[in-house]
Chain A
Amino acid sequence: MKIYESAVRKPVTTALVFVAIVVLGLFSLSKLSVDLYPEIELNAVTVMTTYSGASATDIEQNVTKRLEMSLSTVSDLKKITSTSKDNISLITVEFEYGTDMDEAVNDIRSVIDMQRNFLPDDIDAPVVLKFNSSMMPILFLSASTSSNPQGLYKILEEKVANPINRINGVASVSISGAPQREIQVLTNPKKMEAYNLTIEQLAGVLALENRNVPGGNMDIGSETFSVKIEGEFKTSDQIKDIIVGSYMGKNIFVKDVATVKDTLKERSTIVLTNGEVSAMIVIQKQSGSNVVDIANKINKELPNIRATLPPDLELNVVIDTSDFIKKSIRSLSNTVMLAGLFVMVVVLFFLGRWRATFIIILTIPVSLIAAFIYLMATGNTLNIISLSSLSIAIGMVVDDAIVVLENITEHIERGSKPKDAAIYATNEVAVAVVASTLTIVAVFFPLTMVSGLAGIMFRQLGWIVTIIISVSTLAALTLTPMLSGLMLKKDPKRGKLFELFYLPIEKALNALDGGYERLLKFALKNRTVVIVASFGLFLASLFLLRSVGTDFFPETDNSQISIQVELPVGTRVEHSRILSSHIYSIWSEKYPEIEVLQTSMGQSDGSNVFMSMGSSGTNLISYTARLTDASDRDRDIFLIADMMRADLDAIPEIYKYEVTPGGSGGGMGAGSSDIEMDVLGYNMEDAAVVAEQISDLMKGVKGLRDIKISREDYIPQLRVEFDRDKLAMNGLNLTTAASAVRNRINGLITTRFREDGEEYDIVVKNSINFRTNIEDISSIQLYNNAGKPVRLSEVGEVIEDFAPPSIEHVDRERVIKVSGTIYKRALGDIAKDINRGVSKIDLPENIAVKMTGSFEEQQDSFADMYTLLLLVAMLTYIVMAAQFESFRDPFIIMMSLPFAFTGVFVALWLTGTSLSLIALIGAIMLVGIVVKNGIVLIDYINLNKERGMSVMRSIVKGGKSRLRPVLMTTLTTILGMTPMAIGIGDGSEIWQPMGISIIGGLTLSTLLTLLVIPTIYCSLNVRDIKKIRRAHLKGLKSKN
């Protein structure tokens, strides 16, 4: 018994099987986590080696080069980049996407172990750091208080950070910007010198005074007592009354030589939220946990936390990364629903019968829900890719059911009983249905095998569509005949109201049939004209390709902009602060779209990994702006970012700035793309000149912003150079002298003040007045072992100097990178402009220039896509050739492909969209979708021919009878994609190009397929007939 026969004969079993699928799917759906993208394992490992005291060049030659050489032997390697700075070597090893990173890290470790013996003796062991997407913070909170900033850190730690840390899945909560308490003993060097005291002595005394000492046990009578001496400071006030020495028989107290301040740390990050001083709380998740789940838990906990806080403390969410995810997913779900509705309307429009429409529409939920089971089983999440896959498939899942139902209806109308009709009619079309499904699978299945970044994005798409389409075919062969057998009737009665509505539609459809018949007859009579004209159109559209730009990923508006402002090196925090509030006042007025503007500046206090990863300094101000939802504003982040650039240009103090729409590290597809030019060459002077030229050139290219040269500037420094001979003469050694300088400027910590279980540093250093100019350094008094004082100026000098910048490598070659971000122009066009300019530059010997960045990735993945296109086209051809058992018929059907591409180009050109990876994927999908129409048409024409009709009659009759099914399946697919192409809601920009290219390609190719395919078919068949006639004529002649 065939599957459809059993399905019709056993309706209960069939129904329950599908109910089970739906229930299982809904269960999976309820368990699925939500995320933006499928999980991507970051493909980079960093090797960090410290070699104290070595200069950048030393590090490069002795550490970086050696390690790079051996690391380049690791398998699956994509790229090695490195930075050699003073004291440190950072090597980043990038792997191909999809590499097993655990294995890669092991390989790296063993390679490094092998090299260990060849590295300089006194380096620290290289540290291997594996980066993880979970290192990105998921939530930023800001806390501001109008009173008691001293206690802020403690309150935040106890009442905010700790409760959040207890939430399952939270990895770390770090607080920055909240000043930490510190007890400072600020000495006056002049007074110290007068009393013959040193900072080291003072600090030593404090350490000795601040101590609890156990004094052992004593038995008194029958009891044992422990003896304790509690010498620790009870209050910070006690410090000033400590005796540090005596001079001329009198005691010298701390207060005589220094001031004691119980205050906040001098240098730390200052964080402002909307112009007000605040603290920032950064929350990171554990790897493998879900962003949305954790963010939801934290948001649920926040009201409870707020309740415990003092009333003047305001706690706000600055950035919630789950927000964009949730919004994107919601808008995509709406897109799917809308697509479903459109499909329903089309089916009802063409069939004009409620029951038939119901039967067909039922396949949509059944097959879509099956996809959730797959997601659940493979541990995937509900993300943009999986939801878009549903949106893509929704228009195609009804196709098979339509074909089956149509044939069943025909059989019933010819007098079969519904049940028999259901079995035998399904039997007749089963092969064709399976074949057309196979063409779709032939397109989507290879997507699961794509490698690289595109592979991660499209693997899920490939699987989901393959599964959905397969399930829909299964439903079309079982559920649809079963329901048809039960529900369809011969000549169903139509309601009067329905008749009123539907009669005009029916008339229009009949008129359409007639019109198409006449048009087809005309085309068949003027075959050469039709064929030449349509191929002319295709060739003409290739010229359009010039004005359609190419891109890698479409830019998305995630309502975030991050801005880095760099003032001249050495600018003091106070100065930066004045400027930052100036910028804030400009922006808050100019851009009402900004909801929260967070500013951080000053040195990182190293309290969290994320903050210390970025460069920090007193001259850097970084802003993070959160804007209102994309749908609520007219200006997108790219426009606002560009306007901000103009604002920053107008401020002369600013040395450099960078405005990044989308924020840094917002994940793939978020924000804008970048372009990078690598200047490769050993001679750094030559390379710097070329880099400078390229940077000037890039500044002149339209659509490029934030041009940056990677080689940092020389940083001004004060270098203390001791004369060893003089040091020796004075009985000093370098380390003593150097640490004396450090202790006076940076400070010396020998003991800690304890209060309420917390420890605070007690720092001894020169008072701020004695730390302001070069004189202050050179007048530092050093003491030798004999206690004889020597001024620093006598044994060394202070030189104003510049620290040399770091040396970077790409694939073991020295490099200077020039990069820029792209603003509203296609990547391909910009790349072309830059390359044209670079070719004019006269390169010095041994200097090469290479384009990388998004452009390199685009080129790589485009090359992959073209291979994929060929593969897909071949597979589709094989499937069709097998179905028709002919080489020629699938070839004729394939003729509709060029017009699909013409449609893609026209649609992209009309909408001003550029050809991105996503649009290209759309074009590949078209291969499968477009040939379906041809299959339906040619199959029926062949059938007519086999039934003995003439070629012309077969074509005209076949075309006329297949017009409606072709239009119907095409319209369901087109309308299913429409919500995606229009782009509603946040994050829709990513998939818009795919919708646009599929709609464009499918529309044009369907219209032309309906004329061109029959025409070519006719021409080839007529040629056959003529050949036979000629042969026959020859036979006749030879007989005579």
Chain B
Amino acid sequence: MKAVMIIYNQAHSQVVLEILDKCTVRGFTKWVDVQGRGSKRGEPHYGTHAWPSKNMATLAVVPQERVQPLMLELKKANEMAEDQGLRAFVWEADVLV
């Protein structure tokens, strides 16, 4: 199993949900109102006067074989609106309860 952490501009909220459904990922955890900024070009998302936009984060644990299609879909979504910002990170999820 792999853990997929998707961090994205709140404007993508609906898009990410649709992608998860499309890739038959049922379980996930979502944080709204998270802050951050990109490593290279990405604008800060602080929810302040200067940087009013905010991020959301979704953590989904998915079987190995579904990671690839999911990442492809997410990449596509990101390319559609690069200015908004969408990043996804994958790592091992070892123990399940």
Contact = CB atoms under 8 A, between A and B. Distances in A.
Interface in A414-473: 414-417, 419-421, 424, 427-428
A477 to B, nearest CB: 15
B10 A415 contact: no
B52 A417 contact: no
A370 B50 CA distance: 35
A943 interface: yes
B49 A943 contact: yes
Interface in B1-46: 9-15
B52 A415 contact: no
B58 interface: no
A946 interface: yes
Contact of A943 (B9, B10, B15, B50): B50
B81 interface: yes
Given A428-B53, A943-B50, A415 B14 contact: no
Contacts of B15: 417
A411 interface: yes
A947 interface: yes
Given A420-B10, A424-B11, A415 B81 contact: yes
B81 A416 contact: yes
Interface string B44-63: 00001111111000000000
Contacts of A415: 11, 80-84
B50 A420 contact: no
Given A414-B83, A414-B84, A415-B81, A420 B49 contact: no
A263 B36 CA distance: 105
Contact of B53 (A417, A419, A424, A943): A424
A1007 to B, nearest CB: 28
A168 B49 CA distance: 62
Dominant SS at the A interface?
helix
B93 to A, nearest CB: 30
Interface string B76-97: 0000111110000000000000
Contact of B11 (A411, A946, A947): A411
Interface in A123-172: none
A707 to B, nearest CB: 65
Contacts of A942: 49
Interface string A925-942: 000000000000000001
Contacts of A419: 14
Nearest to A490: B81
A424 B10 contact: yes
A428 B80 CA distance: 23
Contacts of B53: 424, 428
A946 B46 CA distance: 12
A933 to B, nearest CB: 19
A428 B9 CA distance: 14
Nearest to A420: B11
Nearest to B86: A415
A415 B54 CA distance: 15
Contacts of A424: 10-11, 53-54
A265 B26 CA distance: 106
Contact of A420 (B13, B48, B52, B83): B13
Nearest to B53: A424
A432 to B, nearest CB: 9
Contacts of B13: 420
B51 A947 contact: yes
A420 B83 CA distance: 15
A421 B9 CA distance: 11
B50 A416 contact: no
B61 to A, nearest CB: 26
Contact of B84 (A416, A428, A946, A947): A416
Interface of B: 9-15, 48-54, 80-84
24 contacts: A411-B11, A414-B81, A414-B83, A414-B84, A415-B11, A415-B80, A416-B11, A416-B12, A416-B84, A417-B14, A417-B15, A419-B14, A420-B11, A420-B12, A420-B13, A421-B11, A424-B53, A427-B52, A428-B52, A428-B53, A943-B49, A943-B50, A946-B48, A947-B50
Given A420-B12, A943-B49, 8 more contacts: A411-B11, A414-B81, A414-B84, A415-B80, A415-B82, A416-B9, A424-B11, A942-B49
